[in-house]
Structure 1
């Protein structure tokens, strides 16, 4: 076998504020044949996610920061093209963390064979993958929503948010979504069954939110932070539960954000606010996956994806997360 030429996108420098194109560099490297216990894979689909922005900073977090001059790692669906591992054969589809590269040599224990292969296969990066599990545990385990309660979801048209809202409806809650366009909000109400949806870009956002939540907010699933969360916090009820999943509105700030102090609201409303990392639920992933799969197969959960075609558009796709180009899970199809 001749050497395989792999394109990869590496972190060239650490961004300040919103990343620019010069924060990244595309390289071509030659990969040899797999050694014993290794596989050579070709990336078919790769994931771009908001959390990747945080890993570009050289700060302590729940995972180490990306290293300079190394590929951006993240979820990917790959095809095995050569194998020196007995349980993996050429043609097998696997889930990996190869991230932003077209090919990779990997230890076999670092990949998980997709068996059965979901249809479409991209569900393994979204609803039937870490996205769905994040929504499942972040809502059910932390917020414990009860039938009849009002659940508000920010970033509701994003990958995690739309799954959270649908699970809330399955559990008998009134679900209100917050998104950044009227078209996205129509999708939430007309296609996914949200009870109401409000546009945070509207000059009447707070009044719209108040009308959508006449009985206040019992559960808030926070994907964005910032002024949106400030507005929701004013509406929470006694004993509200707030799950902090993401803070995408803050990721590209060059200076620390200054906002309202929410501790008095948490105190006087006797509310709980908790951050979480889905990886901490690893031991319970089979539970979550079984329930998500059942709901999906029963037609109770719908999946929506925005697919950008072309490895050379990976950076464009990633930056588009911060301007809201996607509805649902944002995926790059590697051609």
Structure 2
């Protein structure tokens, strides 16, 4: 391993607003040998997500922010090169919290469920953390019933597109919120949503009212801000809100004054619950088995958006905030292993 060079992104400055070119630096470092209990992984896919932006900020959050001068934290999937663990062998495909880099030394990784017979890109998206977030957030927190109206914001994204389809499978009438006519048409035609509100039209409140004439029973919230305010304005009594993300506020500086219409949680006696996918690690096998079954029988479709090369990781990440991505955004760091 001493002959291998590892390119990695290091956090040099905490972003103020949108990520800038000099907030991260691409550096080279030698690849160390794994110690006992560790594995050396050649990363294949970096699964960028909006929460990466939270990790860059020095704010109160569910884990320590990335320290300045340290590699940028990220969820990756890759092939084991060397192993210091008895339960993982070289050649195994694993995933877990590693970094924006070509090679990672990791301890807390888990084998990827290749036995489902799906492509690696599917395992990094619909059967990965994004699909599992959608599955548990909807089935365990939102709990839509047949005939209810479910609103899913960021419905063309990696998590939202899966949550919306799960809602449809469970019999809910699903209304998506997405940015642009093209995305709205895509989620309706490709994923079978009943309607989609284009927030870029600038009339979210009115358009959501028209799309949800019977009000909103369940909200799978990925955006926050103006979009969540519109949902709060149309909630039915006893509505459930599964708080997955608030991407509209992640580039904000100072306090987050979002959403403004939070009083309706009281007025509508709504239940609101935040959740983290890490809470469900003991149940991952259950979630992946059900998601894989739906993918194989054609009930659930997935879409991946891939950029190639570790040098393009910030570009891939920025696509999440510009709305350029369709489905799960991946950065392909190295070639997939041969079957």
Name stretches of at least 5 consecutive residues in structure 2 with no aligned partner.
335-339
Deviations 1:162-208 (A, max 9, x none): 11110111111100000001111111111110000110010333322
Give the structure 2 partner of residue 189 of structure 1: 188
**Structure 1 residue 218 corresponds to structure 2 residue 182:** no
Change (3 A) 1:7 1:151: same
Question: Cα offset for 1:8?
Answer: 0.6
Determine if contact 1:306/1:327 at 8 Å carries over to the other structure. yes
* Residue 25 (structure 2) aligns with: 25
The alpha carbon displacement at 1:39 in A equals 3.0
Distance in structure 1 (CA, Å) of the matches to 2:65 and 2:9 = 16
Closer/same/farther in 2, CA of residues 105 and 285 from structure 1, 3 Å limit:
closer
Pairwise CA distance, 1:140 = 1.5
Whether the aligned pair in 1 keeps the contact of 2:48 and 2:316 (CA below 8 Å) is yes
Q: 1:99 to 1:122 in 2, by over 3 A?
A: farther
Q: For residues 241 and 103 of structure 1, do their structure 2 counterparts lie closer, same or farther at Cα, with a shift above 3 Å needed?
A: same
Match of 2:332 in 1: 333
Q: Which segment drifts farther, 199-208 or 243-252?
A: 199-208
Q: Tell me how far 1:37 sits from its aligned partner.
A: 4.4
Corresponding residue number in structure 2 for 1:122 = 121
Give the total of aligned pairs: 333
Cα distance in 1, alignment partners of residues 275 and 158 from structure 2: 17
- Whole-Å separation in 2 of the counterparts to 1:243 and 1:221: 5
1:84 and 1:255 map into 2 onto residues whose CA distance is 44
Runs of 4+ in structure 1 displaced over 6 angstroms?
none
8 Å contact from structure 1 (residues 77, 96) kept in 2: yes
CA contact (8 A) 1:3 1:33 kept: no
In the superposition, relative to structure 1, how do residues 281 and 106 fare at CA in structure 2: closer, same or farther (>3 Å)? closer
- Measure the CA separation in 2 of the matches of 1:253 and 1:36: 42
Mapped to 1, the partners of 2:247 and 2:187 lie a distance apart of: 20
Which SS does the other structure have where 1:14 is aligned?
Answer: coil
**Kept after mapping to 2: 8 A contact 1:3/1:32:** no
Q: What do you get for the CA RMSD once the two structures are aligned?
A: 1.8
User: Any unmatched runs of 5+ in structure 1?
Assistant: none
Higher deviation after alignment, 52-61 or 281-290:
281-290
Select between 111-120 and 226-235 the one with higher mean Cα deviation: 111-120
Contact in 1 for aligned 2:228/2:259 (Cα 8 Å): no
Q: Is the Cα contact below 8 Å between 1:10 and 1:69 reproduced in 2?
A: yes
Structure-2 change in CA distance of 1:161 and 1:115 (3 Å):
closer
Q: Give yes or no for contact 2:44–2:332 (8 Å, CA) kept in 1.
A: yes
Residue deviations 1:209-250 (CA, integer Å, cap 9, x gap): 111111111111110000111111111111111111100000
1:123 CA displacement: 2.1
Deviations 1:258-278 (A, max 9, x none): 356434312221211121112
Give me the TM-score of the superposition, normalised by structure 1.
Answer: 0.94
Residue by residue over 1:128-172, the C-alpha shift from the partner in whole angstroms, topping out at 9 and shown as x without a partner, is: 011111111111211221100000011111111011110111111
Assess if the C-alpha contact under 8 Å between 1:75 and 1:125 holds in 2. Answer: no
1:302-330 CA distance string (max 9 Å, x none)? 11110011111101111221111111100
Distance 1:14 1:171, change over 3 A: same
Mapped contact 1:80–1:91 kept (Cα < 8 A) = yes
Q: Which moved more, 1:195-204 or 1:158-167?
A: 195-204
**TM-score computed with the length of structure 2 as normaliser:** 0.93
Q: Which residue of 2 aligns with 1:310?
A: 309
Matched residues in 2 for 1:37 and 1:275: separation? 33
Q: Deviations over 1:86-127 (max 9, x none)?
A: 4433332221322201012334xx332224265220222211
